[in-house]
Amino acid sequence: MAPEDVPITAEGKRVLIIGGGDTGADCLGTAHRQGAVSVHQFEILPRPPEERPEANPWPTYPFSYRVTSAHEEGGERVYAVNTLEFVDDGEGNVGAVRFVEVEQKVVDGRPTFEPMAGTEAELPVERVFLAMGFTGPERGGLLDELGVDLDPRGNVARDDDWSSSVPGVFVAGDAGRGQSLIVWAIAEGRACAAAVDRFLMGETDLPAPIKPGDRPLT
């Protein structure tokens, strides 16, 4: 496909990617190949340590600083910042973003990100790509039609038998757990299938390897 046929391109543009995960890295690599003038990648979390923390032993996923092949191509990763506003260039297009540095704290057992006074700034950009990952099951449509309850994180609420608030509607995978790995989705699917079998037949011989509230070892 010729460059002029691509509806959205980073060629000749200053690019910002909001989100520091794998999808953000894919955006970064693509922006470089399309000829972006500059590429920044924002992440609200603080920069991970160089080495695996003691509280994060193998075989849990290593929360340490990584440099992917895309990052080796260039770009600047900015950690512990939160985007506040898109700034109009005067012609209806994005011309910059306002952002602020944040400090991570834990309030009532949940992480929060508090803005740090005096750190607001603007970054000139012409392209912004959102790569913030999974934020919960999509509202509307099926969820509204079923009338299921949601938990405080926006996922479908479920009990210890994988059942939602609506009898006969069961929940497994990211819709109930939130963003996670495929191995958890597989295990949840098998355990949920056992719960459905028990609901329909009164008993089950199917394996149930995990419970809804199980979490990775830390």
pLDDT of 106: 82
Distance CA 215, CA 155 (A): 16
With bands split at pLDDT 50, 70 and 90, how would you rate the model's confidence at 180? Answer: confident
Query: Do residues 12 and 34 lie in contact, with contact meaning Cβ atoms separated by under 8 Å?
Result: no
Query: Do residues 171 and 156 lie in contact, with contact meaning Cβ atoms separated by under 8 Å?
Result: yes
Query: Do residues 43 and 79 lie in contact, with contact meaning Cβ atoms separated by under 8 Å?
Result: yes
Q: Where are the domains of the chain?
A: 3-130, 142-201
3-state SS, residue 48 = coil
- Dihedral angle, C-alpha 114, 177, 184, 203, nearest 10 °: 160
Mean model confidence pLDDT for the chain: 89
Indicate whether 104 pLDDT > 60: yes
Put simply, whether the predicted model's pTM sits higher than 0.75 gets the answer: no
**Domain 3-130: which CATH class?**
alpha beta
**Joined tokens for residue 200:** 């329909």
Indicate whether 111 pLDDT > 80: no
